């Protein structure tokens, strides 16, 4: 993640370069060879067609099984939360390229793109520049939020390509009773495919707007007790050639036009091996992005301003269920993160060169372990107990140009223990209670509960009443960062959220389901950036209190795979308690409509419309609401072993606006507009 340069004191926001708009890239020769070589041929010896996903095998009326809400498998209607499941089939049908694309289609979620990093908004809270540290992101249960900024990674930095995602479980509401810090608004668990689901080799190539191209090679196999998968992928794009920013519309700043300064590249490796009950998983990703917005008062239209993020981990887990139903989970892990930002400044100060490249960097390394036991006390009563430990052995932050503003090395540790009790009173009523204690050496301890009552009013209707508390620990960045305009605050306290929610899940028929919920949450000790009037320096303080009420509704109809329709709407009214002012980047209305249909065997057409209401900017102006439409075509068997995907994001080229953070001179940042993506996957 990034900190900001010495003159800004913040990390430089994330953006999903996605698939840019404009002219299309040429098809790579190897991609032409891959698709052309198989046209008219049968399936190669030893190859198998793409495996069917669970979404294809399950009838709609069957209730999906989820894991993340309670850390054990249960029906979604029995989970102590409102849960959304996104399957691999959903990802294929709608042509999603990043986790940001996926989340932008989920009830109550919206995405903000500032041309460097993507921000995730949920239930009316999407503060620009928070680095998504109020959402917990997991990969197969492994915590992906880093140790310096506690940031989730929804864009091209995700350590696994979306083609290797088997399903995603999105658990709304506080998750600290099981997962600790950052399970504030939601816990998102990305489950990856296994080697047996690949069962051979996959070669994927793609191209898109703005000279964007991508490639992936994956190989996986399964034997009786062993299974392995290894995959490598790359994405690169030139970006939008000319971008106009009215805030810089002056001859001295090229009349507000940024030229050839939107480049992005990313590569990752992912590997997994299973032997019996043991799983070893490793991942590495490296992303570079030019920053065209002149954020943090950098020199406008200078191509040298860019960020680089590297993320990697190694995770060894053991999972076993005994014949008596006792389940054991243990894992040990090592994680690393590196960030470097280069920011070009013109200080205009005597004795200092006219143009200075400020180097902002950070590096973190941490290790930890987790142990959990699931104990069935009786057929209707089960208890989960667990503990975690994490040691952040390296937390290094630095910022320098002609002056060294920061060179800080620190370390920290945290300990946790939790318990969860699920009791079936009868066939219709389930009570779930959880409690977790976390100890941090920076602020000592915090206790966070969750209580839920799940009542099956009938065979078609489930009612859920949920209360939960969550916390977010202040990060090393918020505690220690300093620069020419920023000062540290070692006295920060954790921020907390209390959420009350009532959920109704109802099957209107065998083909149609609906979900509705109302919620209220209260955030206290919210950590925000303020300007200290005593010295004019920026710093983090526990200042704000937020109160939000809202409601969500979703209806989905599925008539086998030939036709599926989903419509959702969410309303939220979030305000600062002291001033009564509406929150920034907080739309009152968010809605999505999805329709996909099988036009012919193995040919699927999907369309999606997303609507996000108007949002206030940090400077008090308004970003207009917008509706955007996407269209995708999937040919599962264009030829034996060949799959074709074509998607058009922002079909009607609507130039809508994202809210800019306080580090920008602009109030809003225009989206890239329409972009195309074509992808061919060859399976051997």
Q: What is the pLDDT of residues 88-100, one digit of tens each?
A: 999 999 999 999 9
DSSP 418-447: EEEEEEESSSSEEEEEEEEEEEETTTEEEE
> Is the four-CA dihedral 4, 9, 11, 12 of positive or negative sign?
negative
- Looking at every residue in the chain, the average pLDDT score rounds to 89
DSSP 22-89: SSBPPPPHHHHHHHHHHTT--PPTT--PPPPPHHHHS-TTSPPEE-TTTTS-EEGGGSSS-EEEEEHH
Comparing CA positions, the residue from 159, 168, 158, 221 lying closest to residue 191 is 168
Domains held by the chain: number: 1
Structure tokens at 277: 């009950």
pLDDT of residue 539: 86
Residue 22 zone, left/alpha/beta (φ > 0; ψ -120 to 50; rest):
left
Which 3 state secondary structure label does DSSP give 594?
A: strand
Res 415 pLDDT > 60: yes
pLDDT-based confidence at 287, cuts 50/70/90? very high
Enumerate residues 6+ apart whose C-beta is below 8 A from 587: 110, 121, 124, 572, 612, 613, 614, 615, 625
pLDDT-based confidence at 535, cuts 50/70/90? confident
pLDDT of residue 397: 95
Q: Phi and psi of 180, rounded to 5°?
A: 80, -145
pLDDT-based confidence at 18, cuts 50/70/90? very low
DSSP 373-397: EEEEEETTEEEEEEEEEEEEEEEEE
End-to-end CA separation in angstroms for the chain: 37
Comparing CA positions, the residue from 92, 49, 240 lying closest to residue 679 is 92
Section 339-347 average pLDDT: 93
Calculate what percentage of the chain has a pLDDT beyond 90: 77
pLDDT of residue 105: 97
Q: 250: domain range?
A: 29-683
- Distances, alpha carbon 548 to alpha carbons 70, 574, 578, 586, in Å: 26, 4, 13, 10
Where are any strands of DSSP class E within 114-208? 118-122, 135-139, 142-143, 165-172, 186-192, 200-208
Enumerate residues 6+ apart whose C-beta is below 8 A from 224: none
Mean pLDDT is lowest, of 55-64, 289-298, 340-349, for: 55-64
Q: Which residues pair with 471 in a beta bridge?
A: 496
Q: Please report how many Cα atoms fall inside a 13 Å half-sphere around the Cα of residue 550, on the Cβ side.
A: 27
Res 230 pLDDT > 60: yes
Distance between CA atoms of residues 439 and 418, nearest Å: 12
Res 20 pLDDT > 60: no
Structure tokens at 137: 């992101």
Res 21 pLDDT > 70: no
pLDDT of residue 579: 87
Section 118-133 average pLDDT: 91
Res 274 pLDDT > 80: yes
Give yes or no for a contact between 484 and 343, defined as CB atoms under 8 angstroms apart: no
pTM for this model (two decimals): 0.90
pLDDT of residue 679: 96
Q: Phi and psi of 433, rounded to 5°?
A: -135, 135
Q: Tell me which residue has tokens 């793409």.
A: 50
Section 277-289 average pLDDT: 97
Comparing CA positions, the residue from 5, 1, 2 lying closest to residue 399 is 5
Q: Write out pLDDT tens, residues 368-397.
A: 999 999 999 999 999 999 999 999 999 999
Comparing CA positions, the residue from 146, 203, 195, 186 lying closest to residue 166 is 195
CATH of residue 341's domain is 2.40.170.20
Distance between CA atoms of residues 175 and 516, nearest Å: 20
- Scored b (16 or more CB within 10 A) or e, 604-618 reads bebbbbbbbbebbbb
pLDDT of residue 601: 87
Mean pLDDT is lowest, of 44-48, 470-474, 480-484, for: 44-48
pLDDT of residue 487: 87
Structure tokens at 437: 């204690």
Task: Please count the helices (runs of H) and the strands (runs of E) in the chain.
Answer: 7, 37
pLDDT of residue 544: 81
Q: Write out pLDDT tens, residues 151-199.
A: 988 888 899 999 999 999 999 999 999 999 999 999 999 999 999 999 9
pLDDT of residue 16: 34
pLDDT of residue 351: 67
Is 42 inside any structural domain? yes
Give yes or no for a contact between 257 and 240, defined as CB atoms under 8 angstroms apart: no
Section 644-651 average pLDDT: 96
Give yes or no for a contact between 345 and 355, defined as CB atoms under 8 angstroms apart: yes
Res 307 pLDDT > 80: yes
């Amino acid at each position: 993640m990034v900190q900001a340069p010495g003159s800004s004191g913040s990390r430089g926001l994330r953006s999903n370069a996605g698939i840019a708009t404009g002219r299309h890239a040429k098809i790579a020769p190897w991609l032409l060879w891959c698709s052309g070589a198989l046209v008219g041929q049968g399936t190669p010896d030893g190859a198998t067609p793409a495996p069917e996903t669970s979404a294809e095998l399950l009838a709609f009326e069957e209730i999906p099984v989820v894991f993340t809400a309670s850390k054990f498998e249960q029906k979604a209607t029995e989970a102590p939360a409102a849960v959304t499941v996104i399957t691999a089939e959903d990802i294929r049908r709608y042509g999603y390229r990043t986790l940001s694309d996926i989340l932008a289609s989920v009830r109550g979620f919206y995405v903000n793109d500032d041309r460097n990093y993507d921000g995730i908004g949920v239930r009316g809270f999407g503060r620009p520049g928070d680095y998504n540290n109020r959402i917990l992101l997991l990969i197969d249960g492994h915590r992906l939020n880093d140790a310096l900024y506690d940031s989730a990674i929804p864009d091209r930095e995700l350590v696994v390509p979306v083609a290797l995602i088997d399903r995603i479980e999105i658990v709304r509401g506080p998750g600290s009773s099981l997962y600790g810090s950052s399970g504030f608004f939601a816990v998102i668990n990305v489950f990856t495919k296994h080697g047996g689901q690949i069962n051979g080799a996959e070669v994927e190539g793609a191209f898109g707007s703005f000279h964007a191209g991508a490639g992936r090679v994956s190989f996986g196999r399964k034997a009786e007790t062993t299974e392995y998968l290894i995959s490598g992928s790359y994405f690169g794009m030139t970006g939008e050639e000319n971008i106009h920013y009215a805030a810089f519309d002056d001859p001295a700043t090229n009349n507000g036009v940024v030229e050839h300064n939107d480049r992005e590249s990313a590569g990752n490796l992912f590997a997994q091996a299973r032997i019996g009950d043991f799983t070893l998983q490793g991942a590495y990703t490296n992303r570079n992005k030019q920053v065209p917005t002149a954020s943090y008062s950098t020199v406008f239209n200078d191509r040298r301003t860019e960020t680089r993020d590297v993320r990697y981990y190694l995770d060894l887990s053991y999972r076993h269920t005994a014949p008596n139903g006792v389940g054991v989970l243990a894992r040990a892990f090592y994680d690393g993160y590196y960030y470097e930002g280069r920011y070009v400044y013109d200080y205009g100060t005597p004795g200092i060169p006219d143009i200075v490249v400020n180097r902002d960097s950070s590096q973190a390394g941490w290790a930890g372990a987790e142990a959990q036991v699931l104990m069935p006390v009786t057929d209707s009563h089960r208890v989960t107990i667990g503990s975690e430990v994490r040691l952040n052995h390296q937390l290094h932050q630095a910022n320098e140009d002609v002056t060294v503003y920061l060179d800080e090395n620190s370390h920290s540790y945290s300990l946790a223990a939790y318990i969860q009790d699920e009791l079936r009173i009868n066939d219709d009523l389930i009570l779930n209670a959880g409690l977790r204690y976390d100890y941090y050496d920076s602020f000592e301890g915090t206790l966070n509960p969750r209580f839920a009552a799940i009542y099956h009013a009938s065979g078609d209707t489930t009612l859920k009443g949920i209360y939960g508390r969550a916390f977010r620990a202040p990060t090393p960045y918020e505690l220690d960062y300093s620069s020419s305009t920023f000062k540290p605050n070692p006295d920060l306290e954790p921020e907390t959220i209390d959420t009350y929610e009532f959920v109704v899940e109802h099957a209107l028929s065998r083909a149609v389901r609906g979900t509705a919920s109302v919620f209220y949450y209260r955030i206290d000790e919210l950590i925000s950036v303020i300007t200290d009037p005593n010295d004019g320096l920026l710093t983090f303080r526990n200042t704000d209190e937020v109160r939000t009420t809202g409601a969500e509704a979703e209806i989905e109809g599925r008539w086998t795979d030939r036709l599926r329709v989903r419509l959702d709407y969410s309303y939220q009214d979030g305000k600062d308690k002291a001033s009564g002012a509406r929150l920034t980047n907080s739309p009152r209305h968010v809605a999505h409509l999805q329709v996909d249909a099988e036009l012919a065997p193995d040919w699927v057409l999907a369309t999606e419309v997303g609507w996000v209401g108007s949002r206030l900017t940090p400077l008090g102006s308004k970003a207009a609401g917008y509706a955007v439409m996407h269209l995708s075509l999937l040919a599962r068997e264009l030829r034996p072993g060949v799959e074709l995907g074509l998607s058009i994001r922002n079909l009607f080229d609507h130039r809508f606006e994202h809210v800019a953070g306080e580090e920008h001179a602009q109030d809003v940042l225009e989206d890239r507009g329409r972009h195309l993506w074509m992808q061919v996957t060859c399976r051997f």
